[in-house]
């Protein structure tokens, strides 16, 4: 088994249309970006943390917390259309001489602040077991997939639910899972070949829903604030 540590990459753009400046917004007294850095620092299998950003303030906060963020990313990698894969390629190009020191990369998106070190470690452990080209975190979906659809322009629901699922209870449809965007683990060669994080042979690492909030709107941020003190084991006491 490859026992080398992993390189954690955090992609944190300064701009956001739906929630301006979200990666620096405070969550329980800490900027959003800080939550991912601190989680990575607490994960024993992470050997280095590199933050890619186009924002000088994010750069300053990240460096102050001990993450590597020596340069701002280029303007072409800072647009709304720039992909996470393109940003990670840029980081790997910058760090090429030292990549042999790591077993692979862990992508941690700063919009998943409630993800903990144990979630990072669980995904890495699955990857180290072998048999998977990559590991991606998921959580139980809020509702079964057959209950999710797109609305037509007239707003009618006639074809929203497929006929075979009409009238069925949610508990009869089994468990459904969704991507939560929190942890991606992959080897460098597999990432380069796939130009992404989910090559054939990707395994799921299941995270609890209370640590799977993905911050995209002000509502998401409020939900994260409410869940930040939830016990790690997910036990609800009613307090």
228 versus 159: the higher-pLDDT residue is 228
* Token representation of residue 90: 């840029």
Residue 233 reports pLDDT greater than 90: no
- pLDDT at position 16: 77
Least confident of 54-58, 67-71, 75-79, 208-212: 75-79
- pLDDT at position 172: 77
CATH 3.90.1150.10 for domain 6-137+179-227, yes or no, is no
Our CA dihedral for 209, 215, 219, 224, rounded to 10 degrees, sits at: 50
Cβ atoms of 104 and 188 within 8 Å: the answer is yes
The string of pLDDT tens digits covering residues 23-61 is 999 999 999 999 999 999 999 999 999 999 999 999 999
Return the half-sphere exposure (C-beta side, CA atoms, 13 A cut-off) of residue 55.
Answer: 18
Residue 234 reports pLDDT greater than 70: no
* Token representation of residue 22: 């979200």
22 versus 147: the higher-pLDDT residue is 22
> How many CB atoms lie under 10 A from the CB of residue 93?
9
Buried b (16+ CB within 10 A) or exposed e, 156-188: eeeeeeeeeeeeeeeeeeeebebebbbbbbbbb
- pLDDT at position 168: 83
- pLDDT at position 69: 97
* Token representation of residue 108: 């941690």
CA distance 199 to 235: 35
Phi, psi of 150 (to 5 degrees): -105, 145
> Could you tell me the pLDDT band of residue 226, with boundaries at 50, 70 and 90?
very high
Domain ranges of the chain: 6-137+179-227, 142-175
Least confident of 9-18, 57-66, 204-213: 9-18
Q: What is the rounded average pLDDT of the residues 205-219?
A: 96
Least confident of 54-63, 74-83, 99-108, 211-220: 74-83
- Using a 10 angstrom Cβ sphere, with 0-12 exposed, 13-18 middle and 19 or more buried, the burial of residue 226 is exposed
């Amino acid at each position: 088994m490859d026992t080398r540590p992993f390189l954690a990459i955090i992609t944190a753009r300064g701009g956001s249309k739906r929630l301006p400046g979200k990666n620096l917004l405070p969550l329980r007294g800490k900027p959003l970006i800080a939550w991912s850095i601190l989680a990575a620092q607490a994960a024993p299998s992470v050997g280095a943390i590199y933050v890619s950003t186009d924002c000088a303030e994010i750069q300053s906060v990240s460096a102050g917390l001990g993450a590597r963020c020596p340069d701002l990313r280029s303007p072409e990698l800072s647009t709304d259309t720039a992909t996470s894969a393109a940003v990670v390629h840029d980081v790997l190009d910058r760090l090429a001489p030292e990549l042999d020191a790591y077993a692979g990369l862990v992508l941690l998106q700063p919009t998943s602040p409630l993800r903990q070190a144990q979630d990072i470690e669980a995904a890495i452990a699955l990857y180290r077991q072998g048999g998977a080209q990559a590991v991606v975190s998921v959580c139980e979906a809020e509702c079964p997939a057959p209950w999710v659809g797109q609305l037509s322009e007239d707003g009618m629901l006639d074809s929203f639910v497929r006929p075979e699922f009409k009238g069925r209870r949610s508990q009869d449809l089994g468990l459904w899972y969704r991507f939560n965007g929190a942890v991606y683990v992959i080897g460098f060669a597999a990432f380069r070949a796939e130009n992404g994080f989910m090559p054939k042979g990707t395994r799921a690492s299941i995270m609890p829903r209370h640590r799977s909030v993905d911050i995209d709107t002000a509502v998401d941020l409020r939900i994260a604030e409410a869940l930040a003190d939830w016990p790690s084991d997910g036990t609800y006491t009613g307090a």
